[in-house]
Amino acid sequence: FCFLTFHYLCITGLKFPGVPSSDEPGKIFVLDLNDSRMKPVELRMPRNFDLETFNPHGISLYTDPSGKTPDNLMRGCTPVTHKSLVNDILAVGVDSFYATNDHYFENQFLQSYVEILLFQPWVKEVSHGYYFANGINLSPDKRHIYVADLFDHNVHVLERKEDNTLTRVKTVAVGSLVDNIEVDPETGDLWVGCHPNGWKALLFDPNDPAGSEVVRIQNIHSDKPQVTRVYEDDGQVLIGSSVATTYGGKLLIGTIFHKTLVCDLK
């Protein structure tokens, strides 16, 4: 998911080693949460877009300062290709974004780092030393970056510098395998999709499915951040939760390959 006013963007069609998938190409949908039908609408891609090889893994949205709102057509797509862009992405400008890289496809499964693509077609490493860098997102004031370190069960807080380099500020223990991060634009709370059992998530067994977990982190910049488990099940309802976010008293949970769940927050 990523958030724009009362709309959410969501992606489907991930093809990843060990993850069940279909032959359908990847797609992007818009979900209007003010519509009681809660029906996702597929975005139409430009004619020159290569749909056959579209394999979305991460998604991010940069809001145009002009205030333009999206329609159901993707416009002005400029593909960027680089071997290091293999996980999540965070747009911070019209032509710039941060990206996490777990290096799975280069046989460096335990060596991962965060990279940044600026206004030129090259990649610059700005932070490294992660066990498995995964989800990434931005604080509401745009001063800090949050990185999910999957196998280390942590969320790292990094400060952005003027040259877009990053400095580590702190690490918050989550107690679960952290996947993707969404940030509440009003409160600054982090909503994290998590995997309570890593082996089950990696070695999918339909007879013994991976469970799901959603964690909320409040006051992450304080001396005592509050980490709360908001949702959890053993995989009988939702398999492999990977992302979560909220709007209007609702909790939306996405998964690696299973389905999306909408819950009422109490």
Query: Could you give the residue numbers annotated as active site?
Result: 57
**Of all helices (H) and strands (E), which one includes residue 11?**
strand 7-12
Is position 137 annotated in a ligand binding site? Answer: no
* CA–CA dist 196, 182 (Å, integer): 18
Q: Position of tokens 């009362």?
A: 6
* CA–CA dist 103, 105 (Å, integer): 5
Is position 180 annotated in a ligand binding site? Answer: yes
User: What's 111's DSSP letter?
Assistant: -
Asked if residues 114 and 101 have their Cβ atoms less than 8 Å apart, the reply is: yes
Is position 134 annotated in a ligand binding site? Answer: yes
User: What's 150's DSSP letter?
Assistant: G
> Among residues 76, 29, 30, 26, which one has the least CA distance to residue 56?
26
> Among residues 232, 229, 235, 243, which one has the least CA distance to residue 200?
235
Burial 104-128 (b: 16+ CB within 10 A, else e): eeeeeeebbbbbbbbeeeebeebbe
Is position 87 annotated in a ligand binding site? Answer: yes
- Name residues whose C-beta falls within 8 Å of residue 4's C-beta, 6 or more positions apart in sequence: 61, 63, 69, 70
* Binding site per annotation, positions for Ca(2+): 59, 87-88, 134, 179-180
* Binding site per annotation, positions: 59, 87-88, 134, 179-180
